[in-house]
Structure 1
Amino acid sequence: MDAHAAPAFLREIILFLALAGVLIPLLQRSRINPVLGFLAVGMVVGPFGLGRFTEATPWLGYLTFGRTEDVEVFAEFGVIFLMFMIGLEMSVDRLWAMRRLVFGLGSLQVGITALIIGATAYAFGNGLEASVVLGGVLGFSSTAVVMQLLSQRRELGTPLGQATFSVLLLQDLAVVPLLVLVTILAQDAGGNFAGLIGIAAAKGAATIALIYLVGRRVVRPVFHQIAANRQAESFMALTLLTTLGVALLTRAAGLSMELGALLAGLLIAETEFRHEVEVTIEPFKGLLMGVFFMSVGMGIDVTAILAEPLLLPLSVVGLMALKALIVFALFRIFGLTWGRAAEGGIMLCQGGEFAFIVIGMALGLGIVAHPIGHFMLLVVSLSMLVTPPLSLLGHKLGDAIDARLGRSSTIAEENLVELSGHVVIAGYGRVGQMIGELLDEQGIPHVAIETDARLVARQRAKGAPVYFGDASRPELLRKFHLERAVAVVLTMDHTAAAVHAVKGIRTTSPNIRIAARARDEAHAATLRDAGASVVIPETLESGLQLAGSVFETLGVPGDVATRLLDQERKRRIESFLSA
């Protein structure tokens, strides 16, 4: 073996990092959607783009991907981390709060769309098994594309965002039984498909229940131990281990790795570490999803489009129009305005990334004929490619419709589980707990961030809304919707940590009111310079309380003592602000 031989996939990794680090930012500066950028780059550098000219021009081999297989393994990791992030978003409490939209709206969308598309596929001469698979998988939309669009527009907390997220969530859940169904359809069951489905369902349910029940007893204590040591590297390693480890367990049980990643996310979503994990895993998810969309772009063969100049565009338009109409009708039934229902229909009308997994699996098992499978993958790819610009038109169309007809959504605010009008408490020691109790007494919503994992565990056991994390990280602060908070209270002891937190908060929300606790006047001045709105030194309050005790001993009237103390407090605070 050559000692200087390059490791497997090294060239592909370097090429992708170069594209992601150099070319994609240039596309973003041109205000091109990142998903659209990755798809377009995949088309250019893939085997059907410049990659087809490598034999005539060998040096192009260093700048292109000659085979889609070169990036498929990375693309699979992208989907795994996408499912993990979805699991983080779908805690049991959240699913229950959104049950009407998830299991009502989402189930209707998947069921109706699968039935119509499956019947259409059967009418065009496909077999029953192939029609079932195509109907099921083409009913799904692209979670990665749509969530990216909603995040960019900051619409996840709106009625449209909640309804769209609910549909996508049900679709992601439905992938699991569809993968099991594909495996069963490939078996020669002698007509006993119902029995096989029952066995597979029982096996899957037992595996999921075992992982969930055991995982709940293992994941939280292990994360507590790592968090207590405050080692960021170990925390990241444990997050990756949990994701990939559970994925491998489900694969060993005959289920999909995507299901395992979903379960891993769900396990962590039930703990106080969910927001810190989201921030930790975000860069990996973004890069790997970029690989996935680049691989999708590599599968788009422009010559195939030219070979079917009429049928292919009509199929793309037909699929997107059918799904848009179904979603539009369901969104109206569930209370969205005409404009937002139209926008939602356009946003969810494309095919989804799981089509590449399910149809690829069906092709390998011989359920779907290769010409049909490849044609449908091309249809899905093109539908994802046109979604970003089409959704922009849908947004403008929705605004125009609502401007003419008026806006009135009947979706209950209880379904919107995002925080709003709340107070964020950074540091949940004795002072933070006291503030939290006072806010509870007045019915004021609040959420706390604390770096001491043991303290977080104790307070969560008492029902306190406290989460593990570093309040100086803008990415984490966004998870607590700081833009919709009314104030932030800093109670941290450590000067540097408090200063970093103030700066992080100011970066995320420049105008929010920050009330900070300080040890002494020097600490107070530092926090004020960092951007705190109000700073109260502990020495000031303790000194005022001692003075009040002396006044009481000397017989100073209570109202006079209170006035004197208030005047001194005000004078001291004003001196901090003007110093």
Structure 2
Amino acid sequence: MPGSLFYEVLLLLAGAVVAAPLFRKLGLGTVLGYLAAGIVIGPVLQRIIDTEEVLHFSEYGIVFLLFVIGLELKPSRLWQMRGDVFGLGPAQVVLSGILMSGLAYAAAVTDWRGSLVIGFGLALSSTAFAMQILTDAGEMSSRYGQRSFSILLFQDLAIVPLLALVTILSPGTAEEAATPLTDFAVAIGAITAMVLAGRYLLTPMFQIIASTGAREVMIAAALLVVLGSAAAMQAVGLSMAMGAFLSGVMLAESSYRHELEADIEPFRGLLLALFFMAVGLSVDVSVILDNLLFIALAVPIFMAVKALVIYGVCRLWGSSHADAVQIAFLLPQGGEFGFVLFTAAASAGLFSSETSSLLISCVTLSMALTPFGARLSKRLMPKVAREQLAEDYAGAGADVLMIGFSRFGQIAAQILLAGGREVTVIDDSPDRIRQAASFGFRIYFGDGTRRDVLIASGIERAKIVVVATQKREVTDRIVDLISADFPHARLFVRSYDRLHSLSLRDRVEYELRETLESGLLFGRRVLEGLGMSEAEAADIGDDIRRRDEERLRIQAAQGLGAGREMLYNSPVRPEPLIKPKRVPVVDEEGSEPLEGTT
């Protein structure tokens, strides 16, 4: 059994289950826990030998991570970041690359061509490590978090010209040297095709699939989009992560964004954890021991140089001292694309495979030091208040999360929007989503009875959760789920009838029968139509509302049969209040006793 795929999977799962909670409890973060688990399983215990295959498969974790990040970035928001992506990003890569190329050449690691590849390879940071640290800390929406992401995004784009640079610098014919220009043109064409497909094909496809009601097909479609876009970009020389990111951005304004994020999240989390463990598995202890002095000097030197460059360019681009320090401590490590670049350079003959292994070991150790650096930056500035971006991602994190957008929710949402409040609305009806879109109102496709959908929709940041679903059993399931998993959420709930209101009294902050206020208003208008003054009709309506609320309080405490005497002590005793005992009344959505009866 040892050495089999099943055995290795069991080991990796056991390592993740043990290490992640332990390191999080110690305050060191899950990333370092996964990395430590990989080192113990691989280099220390030698239980998994073939680490290259695990590392290759685990890179899909980065692919899913970039897709989820793309879902959170509307194209308009991405356009606003263009100054950081194409200004700050190139400045960091070029300056860091030149300085570290000089250091590599001075250290006589290889000739000038190999030194150039080494310098620019070390200029790239780890998207997986940095984004996981930001996510764990809940700082993706902070100023420094967004600026860090801009730098990482350009670095992911830079892998294309850097791989072309390897081809140009390696020995070859003039025709081979010219192919990178052709590859670049093909890559631009592929990106254009991806954008067009995302704009005109993906949303209609998800509308058709959602209308079937088959959740497993939605999950399959989400995986198809992510992996398909990644494979398409890889085929033209771009990174798989970039393809997934572009498809995510194209779906960022789709009504299916939250459902897609909830479907992909489990795969992203597991595969990204596997990636961090695979990095630990790939640590070559023999290379580290043979070059211990060199690595002990090289890793802190290149991380310090890179951190200083990042701090300097961030300050030039207007970052505060606090933000620049945090970015510098977050991004000084080497990145996963460095593995790709150094391996390609060794295959092209720019330097030896031993040098490639040494560089990969340096990058791996720099990754392991990153969580400590991020924690150190916070200790250096404990009193700094981080400024949050005013714009939320695609509506998630709004003041109000509304679940259900039938006629009741539509009216309530209009009042909230008119009051200047942001509302995130989710509904599981594709037809309702299309109808809302025809009136310029965007709601998200999502099942409110799923915990992952609620999290993706921003329930943890919402001030109030409005449950406006039509069916009593669905409403109860949502209320039970939120009460159990999000006990601090303030619940305002639409109830179906009097019995439903009584059952909700002790579980929510506010409940309202869907027909109460409309019925009271309608009765007032009928009295006015019969000649009663508006003030007198309003007084009668207010008295009925007050007595009804008082009866509900008594019935909630003493049982459904309590409070009956209030019907007969009232100065206003409309005959219909007691007639339903003999004549059942059926409303448009099912039978229900007339209000005021039992």
Interval of TM-score (by shorter of Structure 1 and Structure 2): 0.7 to 0.9
Judge conservation of contact 1:86–1:169 (CA < 8 Å) in 2: no
1:61 alignment counterpart: none
1:55 alignment counterpart: none
1:289 alignment counterpart: 272
1:230 alignment counterpart: 213
Matches of residues 110-129 of structure 1 in structure 2 within 5 Å? 110-125=93-108, 126-129=110-113
Judge conservation of contact 2:38–2:277 (CA < 8 Å) in 1: yes
Q: How far does the alpha carbon of each residue in 1:455-482 deviate from its partner, in whole angstroms, 9 at most, with x for none?
A: 2233235432311112233433333433
AA at the equivalent of 2:410? Q
Match of 2:151 among 163, 167, 182: 167
Matches of residues 409-424 of structure 1 in structure 2 within 5 Å? 413=390, 422-424=399-401
Matched, 1:15 2:18: no
Match of 2:247 among 239, 264, 280: 264
AA at the equivalent of 1:135? G
User: Following the alignment from structure 2 to structure 1, what is the Cα–Cα distance between the partners of residues 226 and 149?
Assistant: 22
AA at the equivalent of 2:300? V
User: Following the alignment from structure 1 to structure 2, what is the Cα–Cα distance between the partners of residues 495 and 99?
Assistant: 48
Match of 2:75 among 92, 96, 110: 92
C-alpha displacement of 1:349: 1.4
1:532 alignment counterpart: 508
Match of 1:245 among 224, 228, 237: 228
Matched, 1:49 2:49: no
Matches of residues 261-340 of structure 1 in structure 2 within 5 Å? 261-340=244-323
Match of 1:198 among 175, 181, 200: 181
User: Following the alignment from structure 1 to structure 2, what is the Cα–Cα distance between the partners of residues 390 and 260?
Assistant: 30
SS in 2 for 1:482: coil
User: Following the alignment from structure 1 to structure 2, what is the Cα–Cα distance between the partners of residues 375 and 178?
Assistant: 20
User: Following the alignment from structure 2 to structure 1, what is the Cα–Cα distance between the partners of residues 498 and 391?
Assistant: 44
Judge conservation of contact 1:513–1:532 (CA < 8 Å) in 2: yes
1:447 alignment counterpart: 424
User: Following the alignment from structure 1 to structure 2, what is the Cα–Cα distance between the partners of residues 362 and 329?
Assistant: 30
Match of 1:134 among 100, 118, 143: 118
Judge conservation of contact 1:343–1:397 (CA < 8 Å) in 2: no
Judge conservation of contact 1:90–1:269 (CA < 8 Å) in 2: yes
User: Per the alignment, do residues 421 and 256 of structure 1 end up closer, same or farther by CA in structure 2, a change over 3 Å counting?
Assistant: closer
Structure 2: segments with no counterpart, 5+ residues: 557-598
User: Per the alignment, do residues 27 and 399 of structure 1 end up closer, same or farther by CA in structure 2, a change over 3 Å counting?
Assistant: closer
Judge conservation of contact 1:426–1:489 (CA < 8 Å) in 2: yes
AA at the equivalent of 1:247? A
Q: How far does the alpha carbon of each residue in 1:94-123 deviate from its partner, in whole angstroms, 9 at most, with x for none?
A: 202333333333333233222322333344
User: Following the alignment from structure 1 to structure 2, what is the Cα–Cα distance between the partners of residues 572 and 359?
Assistant: 75
Give the alignment's TM-score, normalised by structure 1: 0.86
User: Following the alignment from structure 2 to structure 1, what is the Cα–Cα distance between the partners of residues 491 and 290?
Assistant: 63
Judge conservation of contact 1:98–1:415 (CA < 8 Å) in 2: no
User: Per the alignment, do residues 9 and 96 of structure 1 end up closer, same or farther by CA in structure 2, a change over 3 Å counting?
Assistant: same
User: Following the alignment from structure 2 to structure 1, what is the Cα–Cα distance between the partners of residues 271 and 386?
Assistant: 39
AA at the equivalent of 1:441? A
User: Per the alignment, do residues 564 and 415 of structure 1 end up closer, same or farther by CA in structure 2, a change over 3 Å counting?
Assistant: closer
Judge conservation of contact 1:474–1:507 (CA < 8 Å) in 2: no
Judge conservation of contact 1:91–1:269 (CA < 8 Å) in 2: yes
Match of 2:410 among 415, 425, 433: 433
User: Following the alignment from structure 1 to structure 2, what is the Cα–Cα distance between the partners of residues 493 and 75?
Assistant: 43
User: Per the alignment, do residues 88 and 7 of structure 1 end up closer, same or farther by CA in structure 2, a change over 3 Å counting?
Assistant: farther
CA RMSD of aligned residues (A): 3.0
Matched, 1:482 2:455: no
AA at the equivalent of 1:500? R
User: Following the alignment from structure 1 to structure 2, what is the Cα–Cα distance between the partners of residues 566 and 227?
Assistant: 44
1:464 alignment counterpart: 441
User: Following the alignment from structure 1 to structure 2, what is the Cα–Cα distance between the partners of residues 131 and 415?
Assistant: 43
Match of 2:138 among 154, 167, 170: 154
Matches of residues 486-565 of structure 1 in structure 2 within 5 Å? 486-507=463-484, 509-529=486-506, 531-565=507-541
Judge conservation of contact 1:515–1:535 (CA < 8 Å) in 2: yes
2:548 alignment counterpart: 572
Q: How far does the alpha carbon of each residue in 1:100-156 deviate from its partner, in whole angstroms, 9 at most, with x for none?
A: 333333333233222322333344443444334323332222222222222222222
User: Per the alignment, do residues 119 and 91 of structure 1 end up closer, same or farther by CA in structure 2, a change over 3 Å counting?
Assistant: farther
User: Following the alignment from structure 2 to structure 1, what is the Cα–Cα distance between the partners of residues 9 and 255?
Assistant: 35
C-alpha displacement of 1:509: 4.8
User: Following the alignment from structure 2 to structure 1, what is the Cα–Cα distance between the partners of residues 435 and 466?
Assistant: 21
User: Following the alignment from structure 1 to structure 2, what is the Cα–Cα distance between the partners of residues 421 and 84?
Assistant: 22
Q: Which moved more, 1:345-354 or 1:560-569?
A: 560-569
User: Following the alignment from structure 1 to structure 2, what is the Cα–Cα distance between the partners of residues 147 and 27?
Assistant: 18
User: Per the alignment, do residues 567 and 305 of structure 1 end up closer, same or farther by CA in structure 2, a change over 3 Å counting?
Assistant: farther
User: Per the alignment, do residues 288 and 117 of structure 1 end up closer, same or farther by CA in structure 2, a change over 3 Å counting?
Assistant: same
User: Per the alignment, do residues 248 and 344 of structure 1 end up closer, same or farther by CA in structure 2, a change over 3 Å counting?
Assistant: closer
How many aligned residue pairs are there? 554
User: Per the alignment, do residues 165 and 251 of structure 1 end up closer, same or farther by CA in structure 2, a change over 3 Å counting?
Assistant: closer
C-alpha displacement of 1:357: 2.4
C-alpha displacement of 1:219: 1.9
Q: How far does the alpha carbon of each residue in 1:16-62 deviate from its partner, in whole angstroms, 9 at most, with x for none?
A: 2233344544444444422111211221221x3221xxxxxxxxxxx
C-alpha displacement of 1:394: 1.3
SS in 1 for 2:292: coil
User: Following the alignment from structure 2 to structure 1, what is the Cα–Cα distance between the partners of residues 484 and 319?
Assistant: 34
User: Following the alignment from structure 1 to structure 2, what is the Cα–Cα distance between the partners of residues 454 and 417?
Assistant: 21
C-alpha displacement of 1:330: 3.0
Match of 1:34 among 30, 33, 57: 30
User: Following the alignment from structure 2 to structure 1, what is the Cα–Cα distance between the partners of residues 205 and 184?
Assistant: 31
Q: How far does the alpha carbon of each residue in 1:186-216 deviate from its partner, in whole angstroms, 9 at most, with x for none?
A: 57242884x4333111111112212332343
User: Following the alignment from structure 1 to structure 2, what is the Cα–Cα distance between the partners of residues 492 and 412?
Assistant: 32
Matched, 1:341 2:335: no
User: Following the alignment from structure 1 to structure 2, what is the Cα–Cα distance between the partners of residues 417 and 339?
Assistant: 28
1:188 alignment counterpart: 172
SS in 1 for 2:401: strand
Judge conservation of contact 2:74–2:393 (CA < 8 Å) in 1: no
User: Following the alignment from structure 2 to structure 1, what is the Cα–Cα distance between the partners of residues 333 and 550?
Assistant: 59
User: Per the alignment, do residues 24 and 486 of structure 1 end up closer, same or farther by CA in structure 2, a change over 3 Å counting?
Assistant: closer
2:575 alignment counterpart: none
Judge conservation of contact 1:446–1:465 (CA < 8 Å) in 2: no
SS in 2 for 1:71: helix
Judge conservation of contact 1:106–1:167 (CA < 8 Å) in 2: yes
Judge conservation of contact 2:346–2:353 (CA < 8 Å) in 1: yes
C-alpha displacement of 1:418: 7.3
Rg: which structure is higher?
Answer: 2
User: Per the alignment, do residues 501 and 175 of structure 1 end up closer, same or farther by CA in structure 2, a change over 3 Å counting?
Assistant: farther
AA at the equivalent of 1:549? R
C-alpha displacement of 1:255: 4.1
1:76 alignment counterpart: 59
SS in 2 for 1:106: helix
**Amino-acid identity (%):** 36
C-alpha displacement of 1:303: 3.7
User: Per the alignment, do residues 375 and 476 of structure 1 end up closer, same or farther by CA in structure 2, a change over 3 Å counting?
Assistant: same
SS in 2 for 1:522: helix
AA at the equivalent of 2:313? L
User: Following the alignment from structure 1 to structure 2, what is the Cα–Cα distance between the partners of residues 432 and 123?
Assistant: 68
C-alpha displacement of 1:239: 1.2
User: Following the alignment from structure 1 to structure 2, what is the Cα–Cα distance between the partners of residues 541 and 99?
Assistant: 50
